[in-house]
């Protein structure tokens, strides 16, 4: 298992969120999303003030953001490394919870699944040990419930239509 300091973990998490959001939308949207969420969470976790998401001047500039992603998130390492690791975990948890609220459960679930894949098993284990629980099973069950309910509604509509056709 890799042993990383807080700033390395936070940089990996933020870069991975940027990459996954940017892949589904645009790099500019990923930049704006992270900027808004960090700003929102700074009230509860003032150490997030030491995380800077580099402004993207144009989408063309970030055409190959996969290769230049290391330059997107900058962190004041001395500040982050002096924060209790469980507090860093709470901030990551809050960030993922806010992403789900911001994107909706379905998009949030898929984003977190991609995030888990992108960040890798070792980093995922580290952030779990920091108290982060992405509740992927619960989200999946919620989504499965939506799908089942949606299918049953379509089934009811089909049956009602069939009854009406038989009456006519």
Q: What is the pLDDT of residues 121-166, one digit of tens each?
A: 899 889 989 988 876 656 665 655 544 444 444 555 556 666 666 6
Asked whether residue 52 is assigned to any structural domain, the reply reads yes
Domain range spanning residue 65? 6-133
Asked whether residue 1 is assigned to any structural domain, the reply reads no
Helix (H, G, I), strand (E, B) or coil at 59: coil
Reported as a single tens digit per residue, the pLDDT across 64-80 is 544 455 567 788 889 99
For residues 126 and 147, membership in a common domain is answered with: no
Please tell me the pTM assigned to this model: 0.75
Please give the torsion angle defined by the CA atoms of residues 115, 95, 122 and 107, in that order, rounded to the nearest 10 degrees: -20
CB atoms within 10 A of CB 27: 24
For residues 63 and 141, membership in a common domain is answered with: no
For residues 57 and 117, membership in a common domain is answered with: yes
For residues 81 and 107, membership in a common domain is answered with: yes
Of 77, 5, 65, which Cα lies nearest the Cα of 29? Answer: 65
For residues 50 and 77, membership in a common domain is answered with: yes
Number of domains present in the structure of the chain = 2
Asked whether residue 70 is assigned to any structural domain, the reply reads yes
Mean pLDDT of all residues belonging to the chain = 77
């Amino acid at each position: 298992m890799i042993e990383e300091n807080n700033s390395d973990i936070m940089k990996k998490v933020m870069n991975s969120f940027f990459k996954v959001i940017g892949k589904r939308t645009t790099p500019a949207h990923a930049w704006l999303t992270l900027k808004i969420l960090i700003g929102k969470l700074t009230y509860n976790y003032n150490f997030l003030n030491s995380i800077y998401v580099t402004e993207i001047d144009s989408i063309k500039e970030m055409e190959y953001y996969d290769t230049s992603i290391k330059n997107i998130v900058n962190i004041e390492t001395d500040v982050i490394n002096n924060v209790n690791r469980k507090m860093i975990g709470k901030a990551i948890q809050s960030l993922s919870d806010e992403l789900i609220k911001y994107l909706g459960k379905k998009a949030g679930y898929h984003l977190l699944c991609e995030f888990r894949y992108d960040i890798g098993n070792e980093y995922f284990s580290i952030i779990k040990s920091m108290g982060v629980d992405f509740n992927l099973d619960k989200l999946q069950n919620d989504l499965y419930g939506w799908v089942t309910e949606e299918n049953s509604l379509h089934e009811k509509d089909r049956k009602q239509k069939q009854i009406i056709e038989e009456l006519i």
